[in-house]
Structure 1
């Protein structure tokens, strides 16, 4: 329909409207006249609709009140009084996205769904949650989600407990998290950004219930809200619904919630913080150094995009001059940058990792001398062109993986509207990009460096420095603080705390009433598509390889992937496959230096990526297919250039620049260390799978903790053993890059396929040979190692698992329903709600591997006990028809996530390699849809047998691991 400016639509006055061709959408800005709420709608043909309501939330302390509110408002509301409507929606909705997030200056509640009825239900629950939460009725909500004193008997030690408290304990164990928080707080000390909106564990226990409620009253008013609608929908109906059910109940108020700009510094500041390392670790090469600059107002459209490009030029490519200068200087082993454009004032951070405090002056001089040289002599024009083309490709492709496109646009809208700017600003990129392009050869980027970095006193040198014994000292300090507090309490006060804990536990343990559960809107099974989405993929058999082709609507982009069989690599050389994947594209080739290669890739393609992976065989649990994967994409007019670059890299890469190789190995080690600290659940899960699965051990060898330890040894001994290292690389490369069992996976338009296929056949025939060697059947010696991996973390990641096929159990789609039930009922309630962990996950693989893993968990043995008793819950499982419908819907939603073109290509290749066809997937879908209570109960024996095998791995803190040392076969320090 046609909308008119200044006309009122169900209480919403249309202020602005604009057709934005850059995103093929019509964007409108409304103001709700009675309540003062702002609403932006983006109308287009996308059937994956997005709704979000956000609030400007400005912290004035670091108690994490807005983070705790984000969790707490989703724990029951006026219309939906069950304890956790959010969880009920996760396990019983067709949502394609459902979450909430706390940022330094806003809190966002986004949902997405392709189903109209489901979309309205989600919107209703979220609006009721934020405006009418049950936090005013039940103080136990803040205690559970935020913090409380845990004590069950008067003899017990007093402890802090709470979901957000434990989450932030994990966050504050990560040096990267401390780095980013320290940069924000010290670069903007006189603004809300000077506080930690997520919460500092030392300050979280200072938050009172009264303060908690007062923050909600002030900040969660519609006058401070930003509502967002996206996709193919009847906007009038949604406006009417939002007005009649919610906003019409509120009157506009003047809240004056404004973000102040940071006052200019007179000179660069210097600050530091410490982070804990294990006592056995060396402090050498463990410091983070960063130089940080306040850039400008986020509403400056051109500056916003220009610095995004400049950060790429300086720090994000192999040809980036600042990154190269810092690596060459031997100050550090890893370099990266952050352009923060999510605040009122944007900022640029130049960061080096694995350095030392005594290198700070050299760090500064290298940065400033390099930037001065760029200003004087200019950027390499090929680098400018490469970065501009890469950014343009990224913006035009709009491939946001599993993150809904509508949510990306929501963040772009808020990135200006929240600060008083236009909602259209960050959605219109072509005009600004063209303006920048037209000026780049007139010293455009060089002047940005001069004005905003070299001549900028609004700057900060910030360091994160390792400190031994810090973790133990903190544990001791907290324990003494709690002991002293307990001593200060009267007998009556202790009894009151025990009673409050008892009330909390009772609330956590009590099931919701049927009446409350039925108030949450629910679709029926009839609302679910009975048939899965299928894609038109054909297979072309050639002499020694195959071409898979999937017809797509790609806007002129070709997707070209190569899956090389790595079964010809000797078993002892398997880890070199991953090393090769990281080196390719980053070292010289016969035709290009690595800097020139980087520019050529960015000028002509949408990127070339290399990876090592393995895929299971659906029918044979110990059989799997190891692959080396090359993924590339380019406009069809440049697909020949993409192919030439791929084959230049795999056939002509040179490994004679030892200095360069060592730099790359150090960077890879640094990046894996970040993953270990922030993603301990993945490390523990991979390790435990390697104890009982041949595939698991292979994957652990190429990308798990085992690979990390291998990498540490390679880097340490590289100078002495470089000749052997390079020999291994060359042998592995020669074994992989042949036509033997090669699968070429293509995605393109029907019109472009024939030309693309012919080009590929021609280049393969001229550039690849056949390998006449025999395939190698890898055989790993599997052992129940039950390791404890010790870090300086204050929380644990507890993994346990086994392969159920070894007991004769067959995979069924019904196991995915059990996964939904487990993740959001038994495990959620016992590990997260009662145990205080931030998360817990169970997975059932089609090859029989199953794992349970907790995330940021304050417990260890208690969590293992929950896992071990899981079978009892399944034995006694009961659910009425409505509950089973809910579990089935939640399971189907994980299958029906919208896929981008690149994701479709990946899916088709993986299914083909794993011998999974559409008939199997349809059967799996039907098994899910037909799951009954009796089916779930039959899985009790499966879980019991797997848990009794007692395969365990835990990554976590020394204190907790030592308390439970009897559980482990060995205790290993993660970092040296």
Structure 2
């Protein structure tokens, strides 16, 4: 439990043990068990390991049993008998006994309390500085000289590149071994009336991947941040026929799940234009498509978003989860926020899921009683602005058998969508160059600097992907990670021009920004022989040619469609990558200069570090108010 008081630990234990004992006495919810088993069986049948090769993942799973019993290498791969066993045990007391024996009556248990203390980080830093001062004073002059020399030797070793002889021992492909053709897109347009059905005709082993996309262009600017809340509310409040728990279990008993998301798709043919969509995604076996649509209707048209108690729970949960995410993934927050100073798509993303969205959640959680009426009204308004026939597009990944079932369900949904008249609104984002520092209690920083090279008058080229790989494994790797002590450093150059450099768990701040500013110098003097360039290109292509399951191929095709990206565009990018040479990389110096010139900086980091460099920022505030 988070945000608790330490004096409540006994109440916490009593509640946990009490609820578990109640479950043991009254029995577990059968539908909940069925939903849980179906969820994992669906994942098992789908076998979607993302970008990881399926064979590799199956091999690792085999070791989970093989290492401990050499006669059972396939124990975790042949799971149908396990799922059958688990289903048969529902209602027999099996699960209740597991809870009793392994949780309630387990003598091997610990209660851990983590209590914050204001100023603790600064206190520890002072203690460390004093400890080091005493250590230094205890050393002889000879020992100090040796320590300095050892440090210089370490720095020399860190800077020294591997010898050509060492590098030559690594077997590599040649450029001619790499496939020249870009991966195809799988887009077929169909219509039900005026509604587009974008079909990705792929073999999916009987699973359909459905997305309903609703264009949010009619949503007023003042309501855009509330879309992030609506995404978290739909499917997690009571409906006409189900409590939110029952709804969750019912969906997961009979499908692979239904969830909401928000995405923006930049128009690559028109600078600054993008399409923002509220998306409802579902995975289902073909024969259960009608069930999925019935659940989507239940969610869209009968959700009780006026439930104040549940709304507060969702707001508090969002705040807690965002705090955890922002603490562990500060590099993503910093990069998005830095880009939002000049990019429409990043500004939108920040409003519905970044720092701006967190500030809204923080305010609503703190002042819920004063804000709740407006919150509920805004969510109701959003439903009418978004879920309309003219806003809807349907995306489906399946084979022909699955596609035959889709039109009927779409036809039945369309008349139920909102049709009330709306006031049209137009707006422009009022982006500001803020350069912010957000203070945390951590001892590490996430240092981001970004900009947009297309705004600097430069067109996209696939060679930027090669440059990203070079920076990540050479210059930034050595300067920020090896020599700077950060856990990592990332770079991105997008097709729409948005670009950034960001460090991860970095002990430095100003020094890292200085490293970024020296990137043009590195690029302008870049040299590499054919073997080295080939290695960089292989690395770049390996990031692109990842194994893709049908769902990933469908998503890639949808994204290209909404980005207005043709197969010819993809082929041009791949050719530019394969043909890149050292002169090509040197020619990209103007791209990095254009990005750095815009000087868009955002840092999440330790309080003392940010205070030391306060002059770099226009605004400095605590990350969590």
TM-score, with structure 2 as normaliser: 0.97
SS of 1:823's partner is helix
The answer (yes or no) to whether the contact 1:792–1:958 under 8 Å persists in 2 is yes
Q: 1:523 aligns with which of 173, 179, 183?
A: 173
1:788-827 matches, within 5 Å, as: 788-827=437-476
Task: Please give the alpha-carbon distance, in whole angstroms, between the structure 2 residues aligned to 1:415 and 1:487.
Answer: 52
1:772 Cα deviation from its structure 2 partner: 5.3
2:78 alignment counterpart: 428
Task: Please give the alpha-carbon distance, in whole angstroms, between the structure 1 residues aligned to 2:192 and 2:403.
Answer: 16
2:387 alignment counterpart: 737
2:277 alignment counterpart: 627
Task: Please give the alpha-carbon distance, in whole angstroms, between the structure 1 residues aligned to 2:36 and 2:345.
Answer: 39
The answer (yes or no) to whether the contact 2:185–2:567 under 8 Å persists in 1 is no
Q: Deviations over 1:77-127 (max 9, x none)?
A: xxxxxxxxxxxxxxxxxxxxxxxxxxxxxxxxxxxxxxxxxxxxxxxxxxx
1:776 Cα deviation from its structure 2 partner: 4.2
The answer (yes or no) to whether the contact 1:788–1:968 under 8 Å persists in 2 is yes
1:938 Cα deviation from its structure 2 partner: 1.4
1:927 alignment counterpart: 576
1:969 alignment counterpart: 618
Q: 1:879 aligns with which of 528, 545, 551?
A: 528
Q: 1:494 aligns with which of 135, 144, 147?
A: 144
1:661 Cα deviation from its structure 2 partner: 1.0
1:367 alignment counterpart: 16
2:492 alignment counterpart: 843
1:511 alignment counterpart: 161
Inter-CA distance 604–469: structure 2 relative to 1 (3 Å threshold): same
SS of 1:846's partner is coil
Task: Please give the alpha-carbon distance, in whole angstroms, between the structure 2 residues aligned to 1:417 and 1:487.
Answer: 55
Residue 209 (structure 2) pairs with residue 536 (structure 1)? no
Q: 1:401 aligns with which of 41, 50, 60?
A: 50
Residue 30 (structure 2) pairs with residue 381 (structure 1)? yes
1:461-480 matches, within 5 Å, as: 461-480=111-130
Deviates more, 1:733-742 or 1:401-410: 401-410
Task: Please give the alpha-carbon distance, in whole angstroms, between the structure 1 residues aligned to 2:526 and 2:423.
Answer: 51
The answer (yes or no) to whether the contact 1:787–1:952 under 8 Å persists in 2 is yes
Q: 2:213 aligns with which of 534, 557, 563?
A: 563
- RMSD of aligned alpha carbons: 1.6
The answer (yes or no) to whether the contact 1:535–1:551 under 8 Å persists in 2 is no
1:809 Cα deviation from its structure 2 partner: 0.4
SS of 2:260's partner is strand
1:278 alignment counterpart: none
1:258 alignment counterpart: none
Q: 1:952 aligns with which of 576, 594, 601?
A: 601
1:438 Cα deviation from its structure 2 partner: 1.2
1:912 alignment counterpart: 561
Q: Deviations over 1:684-711 (max 9, x none)?
A: 1011001111221111111111110111
Residue 267 (structure 2) pairs with residue 617 (structure 1)? yes
1:116 alignment counterpart: none
1:919 Cα deviation from its structure 2 partner: 1.2
SS of 1:353's partner is coil
1:761 Cα deviation from its structure 2 partner: 2.6
Task: Please give the alpha-carbon distance, in whole angstroms, between the structure 1 residues aligned to 2:415 and 2:430.
Answer: 40
The answer (yes or no) to whether the contact 1:568–1:736 under 8 Å persists in 2 is yes
Give 5+ residue unaligned stretches, structure 2. Answer: none
Residues paired across the two proteins, number = 624
Task: Please give the alpha-carbon distance, in whole angstroms, between the structure 1 residues aligned to 2:53 and 2:607.
Answer: 40
Residue 400 (structure 2) pairs with residue 750 (structure 1)? yes
Task: Please give the alpha-carbon distance, in whole angstroms, between the structure 2 residues aligned to 1:443 and 1:742.
Answer: 47
Give 5+ residue unaligned stretches, structure 1. Answer: 1-351
Deviates more, 1:599-608 or 1:503-512: 503-512
Residue 295 (structure 2) pairs with residue 645 (structure 1)? yes
1:660 alignment counterpart: 310
Inter-CA distance 783–650: structure 2 relative to 1 (3 Å threshold): same
1:323 alignment counterpart: none
SS of 2:114's partner is strand
Inter-CA distance 778–544: structure 2 relative to 1 (3 Å threshold): farther
Q: Deviations over 1:168-219 (max 9, x none)?
A: xxxxxxxxxxxxxxxxxxxxxxxxxxxxxxxxxxxxxxxxxxxxxxxxxxxx
1:515 Cα deviation from its structure 2 partner: 2.3
SS of 1:592's partner is coil
Task: Please give the alpha-carbon distance, in whole angstroms, between the structure 1 residues aligned to 2:173 and 2:539.
Answer: 11
Task: Please give the alpha-carbon distance, in whole angstroms, between the structure 2 residues aligned to 1:556 and 1:852.
Answer: 42
1:920 Cα deviation from its structure 2 partner: 0.8
1:413 Cα deviation from its structure 2 partner: 3.0
Higher helix share: 2
Task: Please give the alpha-carbon distance, in whole angstroms, between the structure 2 residues aligned to 1:702 and 1:931.
Answer: 38
Inter-CA distance 450–531: structure 2 relative to 1 (3 Å threshold): same
1:378 Cα deviation from its structure 2 partner: 0.9
2:482 alignment counterpart: 833
Task: Please give the alpha-carbon distance, in whole angstroms, between the structure 2 residues aligned to 1:533 and 1:949.
Answer: 35
Q: Deviations over 1:714-742 (max 9, x none)?
A: 11121122111100000011111112242
2:378 alignment counterpart: 728
The answer (yes or no) to whether the contact 1:662–1:718 under 8 Å persists in 2 is yes
Residue 245 (structure 2) pairs with residue 592 (structure 1)? no
Higher strand share: 1
Q: 1:766 aligns with which of 401, 404, 415?
A: 415
1:940 Cα deviation from its structure 2 partner: 1.1
1:773 Cα deviation from its structure 2 partner: 4.2
The answer (yes or no) to whether the contact 2:52–2:547 under 8 Å persists in 1 is no
1:275 alignment counterpart: none
Greater length-normalized contact order (CA 8 Å, ≥ 6 residues apart): 2
The answer (yes or no) to whether the contact 2:186–2:554 under 8 Å persists in 1 is no
1:485 Cα deviation from its structure 2 partner: 1.2
2:346 alignment counterpart: 696
Task: Please give the alpha-carbon distance, in whole angstroms, between the structure 2 residues aligned to 1:405 and 1:384.
Answer: 28
SS of 2:147's partner is helix
Task: Please give the alpha-carbon distance, in whole angstroms, between the structure 2 residues aligned to 1:590 and 1:813.
Answer: 51
SS of 1:740's partner is helix
The answer (yes or no) to whether the contact 2:192–2:407 under 8 Å persists in 1 is no
Inter-CA distance 961–776: structure 2 relative to 1 (3 Å threshold): same
1:639 Cα deviation from its structure 2 partner: 1.1
Inter-CA distance 781–758: structure 2 relative to 1 (3 Å threshold): closer
Task: Please give the alpha-carbon distance, in whole angstroms, between the structure 2 residues aligned to 1:363 and 1:838.
Answer: 36
1:817 Cα deviation from its structure 2 partner: 0.9
Task: Please give the alpha-carbon distance, in whole angstroms, between the structure 2 residues aligned to 1:771 and 1:488.
Answer: 80
The answer (yes or no) to whether the contact 2:185–2:556 under 8 Å persists in 1 is no
Task: Please give the alpha-carbon distance, in whole angstroms, between the structure 2 residues aligned to 1:777 and 1:802.
Answer: 26
Q: Deviations over 1:117-166 (max 9, x none)?
A: xxxxxxxxxxxxxxxxxxxxxxxxxxxxxxxxxxxxxxxxxxxxxxxxxx
SS of 2:407's partner is helix
